[in-house]
């Protein structure tokens, strides 16, 4: 009897969802963890219906988010802390332009020039950002998804978590859980153990060697197919 081995082993340089530092420049087409601060009432609407494009702002139309969680936790400004909610997001940035000076020639027209996200680096000196904290404007709301509750008052934390879990379950058709205080949806492929995007399960198929069900994103698979030699 002889033993034949089939399979593969690979390594990944990065993950599909990255959490950059506020000063790190986002790469085009990347998917990043960001945050959005809002009121309790607006948080309910966003979780249930998704984001809507703002009519204006320092960077024009879009959804305003930040990779700096502390910045998101300050909003809405001058509101009661118990009415502040910081939503954890998964953001697909597309093509990114850096806006780091006042009166930038594309400050309000960047999307018309083919950009999907405008990025304001921290401490760039723009008068419109007196806090000096990092900020992003994503033109298409469909590229911004809520995946967790980063901060909320204890009297609404559980309610928002349940609302988000229900929303994610309805959109993906699978049962999901939402972790508290900054956690996201626990949607993980059962085979490769890597995170999946909501509503986009990994491709699964049978190994041509042993017939075992595998995920095409598994980092390693070794199958053993035996044959009897006469």
- DSSP string of 53-114? -BS--TT-SBEEEBS-HHHHTTPSTTS-GGGEEEEEEEEE--SEEE--STT-TTTTTTGGGT
Q: What is the DSSP letter of 178?
A: B
Tell me the mean pLDDT in the region 204-217: 76
Q: Residue 186 has what pLDDT? A: 46
The span from the CA of 185 to the CA of 197, in Å, is 10
* Full-model pTM: 0.70
The span from the CA of 204 to the CA of 217, in Å, is 9
Secondary structure of residue 49 in the 3-state scheme? helix
Q: How many CA atoms lie within 13 A of 22 on its CB side?
A: 18
Say if residue 76 is preceded by a cis peptide, omega within 30 of 0: yes
The span from the CA of 196 to the CA of 171, in Å, is 14
Phi, psi (rounded to 5 degrees) for 142: -65, -15
199 pLDDT band (50/70/90 cuts)? low
For the chain, list the domains and their CATH numbers: 2-10+191-227 (no CATH), 31-172 (3.90.228.10)
Q: What is the mean pLDDT of the chain?
A: 82
Q: With contact defined as beta carbons under 8 Å apart, do 116 and 93 qualify?
A: yes
Please tell me which residue, 197 or 11, carries the higher pLDDT value.
197
Tell me the mean pLDDT in the region 220-226: 64
Please tell me which residue, 141 or 183, carries the higher pLDDT value.
141
Q: Residue 200 has what pLDDT? A: 63
Two tokens at 133?
């904290």
């Amino acid at each position: 009897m002889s033993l034949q081995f089939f399979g593969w082993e690979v390594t990944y340089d990065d993950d599909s969802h990255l959490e950059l530092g506020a000063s790190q420049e986002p790469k085009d087409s990347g998917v990043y963890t960001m945050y959005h601060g809002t009121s309790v009432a607006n948080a309910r609407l966003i979780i249930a219906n998704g984001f809507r494009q703002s009519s204006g702002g320092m960077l024009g139309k879009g959804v305003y988010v930040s990779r700096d969680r502390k910045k998101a936790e300050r909003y809405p400004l001058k509101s009661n802390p118990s009415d502040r909610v910081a939503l954890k997001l998964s953001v697909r940035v597309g093509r990114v332009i850096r806006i780091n000076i006042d009166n930038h020639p594309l400050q309000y027209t960047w999307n018309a020039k083919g950009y999907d996200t405008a990025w304001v680096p921290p401490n760039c000196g723009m008068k419109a950002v007196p806090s000096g904290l990092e900020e992003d404007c994503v033109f298409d709301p469909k590229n911004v998804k809520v995946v967790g509750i980063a901060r909320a008052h204890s009297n609404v934390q559980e309610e928002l978590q349940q609302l988000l879990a229900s929303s994610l379950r309805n959109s993906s058709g699978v049962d999901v859980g939402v972790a508290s205080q900054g956690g996201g949806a626990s949607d993980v492929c059962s085979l490769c153990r890597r995170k999946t995007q909501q509503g986009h399960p990994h491709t699964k198929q049978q190994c041509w060697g042993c017939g075992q069900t595998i995920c095409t994103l598994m980092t390693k698979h070794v199958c053993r197919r035996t044959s009897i030699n006469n």
